[in-house]
Structure 1
Amino acid sequence: MNQYRGFTEKNKAKKKKGQVPIRLNILFISVFLIFSLLIVQLGVVQILNGQEAQHQINQAENTPTEKAVPRGKMYDSNHQLILDNQAVKSITYTPPKNGDTAQKRLEIAEQLADYITIIKDEKKLDKTIRERDKKEYWYLQKQDRVHDLLTAEEREELSKSEEYQAELDAITVDNLAEIDWTPDLKNVIAIKKELDSAKELSPHIVVNDGLTEEEYALVAEHLNDLPGIDAVIDWDRKEIFGETLSSFFGKLTTSEQGIPSENSQYYLSHGYTWNDRVGTSGLEQEYEHILRGRKEKVKYSTDSNGNVISSDIIVPGERGKDLVLSVDMDFQTEVDKIVEEELKTAINNPASNSGYLEDALAVVMNPQTGDVLALSGIHYDKEKKEYLNQAYKTIYDAHEPGSAVKGATLLAGYQEGVVDIGSRLSDRAIKIQSTPKFSSHKYLGNSISDLYALEESSNVYMARIAIAIAGATYQENKPLYNFDYSAFNTMRNYYSQFGLGIKTGIDLPFEATGVTGANPAQGNLMHLAIGQYDTYTTLQLAQYVSTIANGGYRMKPRLVKEIREPGNGEGQPGNILEAFSPEVLNRVDMDEKYIDQVQEGFRRVFTNGTAANQWRGFPYEVAGKTGTAQRTKYKTDEDGEPVKVAETENLSLVGYSPLKDPEIAFAIIVPENGTGIGRHQVHHAIGKRIVEAYYKMKNNLDSQKEED
């Protein structure tokens, strides 16, 4: 009995022990099946849906973008703020990654139109909304009828874009008449046009100009209901001194224009976005890389639908670096006042006003450093009867200056060896066959010296130099024998050493070089020698006289002296990052004694010569040269023939002060004056007042330094 019971218990133990592996096997099999299913599912995702899955991941990724910052400011030479930034409230739209649909943008525009009107002038609004804009709106509103616009056969061979265009073309005037095009609806369409212009994840300004405080506040209050819309602060330029020097500050593109399309690749490769504002002229363009600053970099997080769900600043923005200019704005303002007042006097003087007189131009610079001290151009608008500040003409407009260039002509003669210090020539009029008689403003004698030729502005002396440079032999009323036409190039090469006929190198993106006469007739070489053939800008003339004033060094004109860190908000620029040293472009290829001789001739012009009557008793030392260029005005008659209608004269004056180590050089051109007796000597009046204003400014600055 006991044996039986022991046997039974052993069997039960064995049976129980055999059941454990079966359960484990079932568990292992279940786990295996589950992992197998997961592996199969992963394979399906990877092989069949991998691209779509990656697309979803990409949509949810973090995407960086950048926001513009205020541009650098500009200060004058005394650190007086002259170009600032002005905060402008703006409404922006940032499309999600991969963009919004046109229907979605319309919905946003309809919501936004409840709070803002982006074009408040109805006439301007009507011009803004084109027929295509109306057709696009009809297209979105009449989706149930779009399919009927084209037949199946018409659609068959069209691409998607061609099909869309064909559908728009098929929308008729009667179709458009189904909609009441109210001002409110046009406002919606105008807003949508701005939304359509935005690039993905790049803030686009929908409106800033004319945005009211109430509109800005309403949008800011409802941002949660306006996907992609933000109320932000944009920046515009504020010119502290109005029009004074503004043409040299330059212009910026608008946010709507963005970067210029013709240079888009350049800008994009340098970190710009499509709607960035950039300089398109003047200092804004020349120093764009300095003024632009470091943009604020923002990381946007988007959901799987591409909507922005959060943003974080990963690189703080920093406004652009500041520029310190060479110009003293108080002096610049005074020069503008002087030029305008003297131009008014000339225009109101019947003997001065030829009927064509409308401009007066002046450039002032430091001949030792090339620093531009003032650029002034005043234009009289005859129709509006207004005097306008057009200082850009000092660099972009070129004129025949007349005898002001005779210093360069005499130096060319010295260097070519056709005259020397003390050389005497006859001032008797020159008559070349088939050309008008060539004479000075009066007969100066049969044997005049080089200094006297400058002092009294002998045309004939300079013409004889030109003939000698050409290697020609002169006989009265006959052609010049053995005339070497390369003399035109020889003389222009000498002129170019002073900056005449070539770029001065000023730190601006563009400057004119004047017009080179194209008719190499023998008589024109003589006119070239007295400044009545090629044309030059006022800045070129200022560089020319500066080169003579400083002993033969052509200095590069500059408007910017320093680049500085952004200021601390107290109206002063920050620390110096870069100070520009004076730059010598070239040393004229002439013996120093010859330059000294011309300097002496220029001194005599103001003490005994053609400028003496106007400058007698002037309290400051001044040397320089006067110039008068005859200009004949023509009109075309009924037969197409030119008919002379008036004789005018360009009046010019170049000079410097003081005689030793000169601090100021100036050039003045007043084109198209009358020729009457008793006319206003506008160029001399401007010159004297500019020199007086300079010394007054200098004395004031010296007094301030002593007080400090």
Structure 2
Amino acid sequence: MVSKKKRQKKSQLPFRLNILFLIVFLLFSALVLQLGVVQILNGEAFQAEIDRTTNDYSETPVPRGKMFDRNGELIVGNDAGYSITYTPEKGIQAGERLDVAERLAEYVDMDSEEHLDGITERNRQEYWYLNNTDEAENLLSDQEKEDMDNGEQYNEILDRIDEDKIDDYSKQELEVMAIKKEMDKAMTLTPQVIKNEDVTPEEFARVSAHLGELPGVNATTDWNREYPYDETFRDFAGSITSESQGIPADQEDYYLTRGYSRNDRVGNSGLEEQYEGVLRGRKEKIQYTTDKNGAIVDSDIVVEGQRGKDLVLTVDMELQKKVDEVIHDEMQSAIQNQPHENRNLENAMAVVMDPTTGEILAASGQRYDHEKGEFTKTGTSTIYNANAPGSSVKGATMLAGYQSGVIEFGQQFYDTPIKIKDTPEKSSWKNLQWVNDLEALEQSSNVYMFYIAMRMAGEYNYEPNKSINIDYAAFDEIRNYFGQFGLGVSTGVDFPYESTGYKGSNPDAGNLLDLAIGQYDTYTTLQLAQYVSTIANDGYRVRPHFMKEIRNPVPHEEGLGPVYKSHNTEVMNRIQMSDSEIDRVQEGFHRVFQAPEGTASSHFGDKPYDAAGKTGTAEYDVYEDGQLKASTENLAHIGYAPYDDPEVAYALIVPHVGKGDNSEINHEIGKGILDAYFELENEDEGEED
């Protein structure tokens, strides 16, 4: 028989197990409930986190637009070449880049001076650090590290690397450094050019065959500018930055806000810079999808790339070449005929334009290096360099005299030297005696212009060897009149920079007289071309320009696409003078070239194109350290043709020719320019017939 005590123990054991089972059941129930909550309520969010990807974008450059002359001849094109680029993924580390650089160095050469000379001491230190990390870390004690953040530790370690550790690198190691240096410039998912201009077909093939072991590296095609006419018009066309330069640092904000990347090539001079927004094109935009580790899992082109629009310029390259040749040949002839001890002639400049539209047909400059015996094309000097042009401005002076009321048609003055008390005597090239306004232009009377200037300054009672009282406001008045023609002010040309010349700052009577004959203020060749065009164009001053049309690109590489934009003639102002006054000066200019007494008639009187214009000689002294070094001259020439219906105008300056030397070079260049223009016109008409 079982005792009561034993029966109680048996009944208590199942009860305790039941409690334990209940607790276990409740715990499992809670766990299942929690799993249900995770799966049902938050499962989608957690799965999204697991599958999380990020969309990033990369833009690939496209070929720049081309430049053509007015006849469709290619001036600036694109030469396709090979390019090796690197596009880093997110989170790429310096050591990983070094591994890629070492492998890439097996397939490309980076041994040019540009690459190897660009390796700095810092590049060498970083290279040593990455290859000797443990040793490098020991250059700092644990105590020193406690007081520095990671960046400070890194910089301090580099500074402590001894020179003897980084001096004895092999050429192969230096090439690795050069590659890594370029790779370090790359931003995430943005292609960085590692090597471009001199990639050989063999290098391109080797890299292409090993892209699988070169993460981020690509072998692709790039474009460099080509110039079918070599140096002709090259300085006007301008240049673009190299891959290593990218956008200019001082204009970074400007370009970045307009969608550029830091390593984009941009125009940095000439028409490349002026029309950067037109020539740049639309970059190809690629969307990259990356996982949470930064690995690219997909890509898609979201914006198709399109090469830049093309520029059709106003320039006629055949005329441009002929003008270059004329200047070169006439300078060479003049230099050879110059006495050796007085060879001052160094450069000459000319601009040819359509006076009714402002289209620049040719712009040429030549500089001669006496030491090297070499000529260099310096066309942009026609816009950048200002010189005193002498009597070529007398048309503007005469019109200022008419407009201000100090002279009238047929007004005569006696041409004999002017002598103001305590000043040097001033005269014309010879004593012309009585001359009227037309004769003053025809024979280039300085004295006539002196009387205009004195009268505009309030002095009507000049007497030899006596002081004169002038109103100094006449300086501003004459300059304001000159400015209406484009002299001393911006021409408005579509070019990144132009000089407006120098305005003299000493307002004495003698300088006022010199201002009236073009021997005080200075002007550019382009300003003179705009001035003579204004007279030829019946007083309408038009804006000179290089851009004739902008054309949309065509899918293939040859030919011109449809017109996107045309440059319409822009009248900047109409001078204040009346039609009859302008006609009077036009007649005076015609007599300069055609009348027997005209200063240029012996060169142009027998020409079939019936030209008009004005010659100019500016005399001045050159001082050095307060001592007279030399007396020299600038020779100028302006003209247009035909006289009755002008279709071409030109201006030229030959500065610093020496005293009395080369007195014919300006006539010869001017004649050569018009001869070349009308020869080409006749050829074109013959082809049409």
TM-score by length of 2: 0.92
Alpha-carbon separation, structure 2, partners of 1:232 and 1:551 = 56
- The equivalent residue for 1:227 is 215
Helix, strand or coil at the partner of 2:396: helix
Contact 1:118 1:211 survives alignment (8 Å)? no
- The equivalent residue for 2:111 is 119
Alpha-carbon separation, structure 2, partners of 1:109 and 1:262 = 30
One-letter amino acid of the counterpart of residue 327, structure 2: V
Per the TM alignment, residue 454 of structure 1 is displaced from its structure 2 partner at its CA by 0.7
Per the TM alignment, residue 645 of structure 1 is displaced from its structure 2 partner at its CA by 2.9
Per the TM alignment, residue 169 of structure 1 is displaced from its structure 2 partner at its CA by 1.2
| Cα 1:43/1:190, change in 2 over 3 Å | farther
Per the TM alignment, residue 414 of structure 1 is displaced from its structure 2 partner at its CA by 0.7
One-letter amino acid of the counterpart of residue 668, structure 1: L
| Cα 1:434/1:167, change in 2 over 3 Å | farther
Helix, strand or coil at the partner of 2:476: helix
- The equivalent residue for 2:101 is 109
Structure 2 counterpart of 1:72, from 65, 71, 81: 65
Query: Does 2:600 correspond to 1:611?
Result: yes
- The equivalent residue for 2:6 is none
Query: Does 2:525 correspond to 1:535?
Result: no
One-letter amino acid of the counterpart of residue 361, structure 1: M
Worse-matched range after superposition: 348-357 or 319-328: 348-357
- The equivalent residue for 2:665 is 682
1:25-59: CA deviation from partner (whole Å, max 9, x where unpaired): x999978743423546999999xx99x997x877x
Contact 2:485 2:530 survives alignment (8 Å)? yes
Contact 2:116 2:175 survives alignment (8 Å)? no
Residue segments in structure 2 that go unaligned for 5+ positions in a row: 1-23
Query: Does 2:668 correspond to 1:670?
Result: no
Alpha-carbon separation, structure 1, partners of 2:422 and 2:106 = 80
Alpha-carbon separation, structure 2, partners of 1:622 and 1:219 = 64
| Cα 1:31/1:158, change in 2 over 3 Å | closer
Residue segments in structure 1 that go unaligned for 5+ positions in a row: 1-25, 637-641
Alpha-carbon separation, structure 2, partners of 1:654 and 1:172 = 68
- The equivalent residue for 1:579 is 566
Contact 2:632 2:656 survives alignment (8 Å)? yes
Alpha-carbon separation, structure 1, partners of 2:664 and 2:169 = 63
Per the TM alignment, residue 328 of structure 1 is displaced from its structure 2 partner at its CA by 1.1
One-letter amino acid of the counterpart of residue 635, structure 1: E
- The equivalent residue for 1:174 is 164
1:526-546: CA deviation from partner (whole Å, max 9, x where unpaired): 111100111110000000000
Alpha-carbon separation, structure 1, partners of 2:340 and 2:686 = 40
| Cα 1:37/1:329, change in 2 over 3 Å | same
Alpha-carbon separation, structure 1, partners of 2:645 and 2:181 = 62
Matches within 5 A, 1:20-59: 33-37=31-35, 39=37
Helix, strand or coil at the partner of 2:236: helix
| Cα 1:344/1:145, change in 2 over 3 Å | same
| Cα 1:149/1:41, change in 2 over 3 Å | farther
| Cα 1:652/1:593, change in 2 over 3 Å | same
| Cα 1:129/1:415, change in 2 over 3 Å | same
Helix, strand or coil at the partner of 2:656: strand
| Cα 1:42/1:111, change in 2 over 3 Å | farther
Matches within 5 A, 1:545-624: 545-567=532-554, 569=556, 571-608=558-595, 609-624=598-613
Query: Does 2:686 correspond to 1:703?
Result: yes
Query: Does 2:676 correspond to 1:693?
Result: yes
Contact 1:349 1:680 survives alignment (8 Å)? no
Contact 1:532 1:629 survives alignment (8 Å)? yes
- The equivalent residue for 1:522 is 509
Per the TM alignment, residue 320 of structure 1 is displaced from its structure 2 partner at its CA by 0.9
One-letter amino acid of the counterpart of residue 69, structure 1: V
Helix, strand or coil at the partner of 2:293: coil
Per the TM alignment, residue 361 of structure 1 is displaced from its structure 2 partner at its CA by 0.7
RMSD (Å) for aligned C-alpha atoms: 2.4
1:56-91: CA deviation from partner (whole Å, max 9, x where unpaired): 877x31212111111111111111122111111000
1:581-624: CA deviation from partner (whole Å, max 9, x where unpaired): 11100000111111100000001111231112232322320100
Matches within 5 A, 1:199-210: 199-210=187-198
Contact 2:71 2:316 survives alignment (8 Å)? yes
Q: How many residues align?
A: 663
- The equivalent residue for 2:75 is 82
- The equivalent residue for 1:161 is 151
One-letter amino acid of the counterpart of residue 76, structure 1: D
Query: Does 2:75 correspond to 1:92?
Result: no
- The equivalent residue for 2:16 is none
Contact 1:454 1:601 survives alignment (8 Å)? yes
- The equivalent residue for 2:201 is 213
Per the TM alignment, residue 442 of structure 1 is displaced from its structure 2 partner at its CA by 0.7
Worse-matched range after superposition: 391-400 or 278-287: 278-287
Contact 1:516 1:534 survives alignment (8 Å)? yes
Per the TM alignment, residue 157 of structure 1 is displaced from its structure 2 partner at its CA by 4.0
Contact 1:354 1:648 survives alignment (8 Å)? no
Alpha-carbon separation, structure 2, partners of 1:209 and 1:330 = 30
1:77-120: CA deviation from partner (whole Å, max 9, x where unpaired): 1111221111110000001124x211111111001001011233
| Cα 1:31/1:624, change in 2 over 3 Å | farther
| Cα 1:352/1:701, change in 2 over 3 Å | farther
1:270-305: CA deviation from partner (whole Å, max 9, x where unpaired): 221121111111111111111111111111222332
One-letter amino acid of the counterpart of residue 68, structure 1: P
- The equivalent residue for 1:17 is none
One-letter amino acid of the counterpart of residue 63, structure 2: P
| Percent of aligned pairs sharing the same letter | 48
| Cα 1:53/1:158, change in 2 over 3 Å | farther
Alpha-carbon separation, structure 2, partners of 1:151 and 1:281 = 53
Matches within 5 A, 1:287-436: 287-350=275-338, 354-436=342-424
Matches within 5 A, 1:420-569: 420-445=408-433, 447-472=434-459, 473-481=461-469, 483-567=470-554, 569=556
Alpha-carbon separation, structure 2, partners of 1:419 and 1:667 = 27
Helix, strand or coil at the partner of 1:149: coil
Helix, strand or coil at the partner of 2:138: helix
Contact 1:354 1:646 survives alignment (8 Å)? no
Alpha-carbon separation, structure 1, partners of 2:329 and 2:510 = 38
Contact 2:116 2:178 survives alignment (8 Å)? no
Alpha-carbon separation, structure 1, partners of 2:171 and 2:393 = 63
One-letter amino acid of the counterpart of residue 650, structure 2: F
Worse-matched range after superposition: 568-577 or 382-391: 568-577
Query: Does 2:135 correspond to 1:145?
Result: yes
Alpha-carbon separation, structure 2, partners of 1:280 and 1:119 = 27
Worse-matched range after superposition: 195-204 or 696-705: 696-705
Contact 2:633 2:660 survives alignment (8 Å)? no
Alpha-carbon separation, structure 1, partners of 2:389 and 2:40 = 85
1:402-437: CA deviation from partner (whole Å, max 9, x where unpaired): 000000011111111111111112222221222111
| Cα 1:408/1:31, change in 2 over 3 Å | farther
Structure 2 counterpart of 1:646, from 624, 630, 647: 630
Query: Does 2:263 correspond to 1:275?
Result: yes
Alpha-carbon separation, structure 2, partners of 1:254 and 1:30 = 69
| Cα 1:699/1:613, change in 2 over 3 Å | closer
| Cα 1:627/1:680, change in 2 over 3 Å | closer
Structure 1 counterpart of 2:251, from 226, 248, 263: 263
One-letter amino acid of the counterpart of residue 653, structure 1: H
Contact 1:352 1:674 survives alignment (8 Å)? no
Alpha-carbon separation, structure 1, partners of 2:341 and 2:329 = 15
Alpha-carbon separation, structure 2, partners of 1:69 and 1:304 = 31
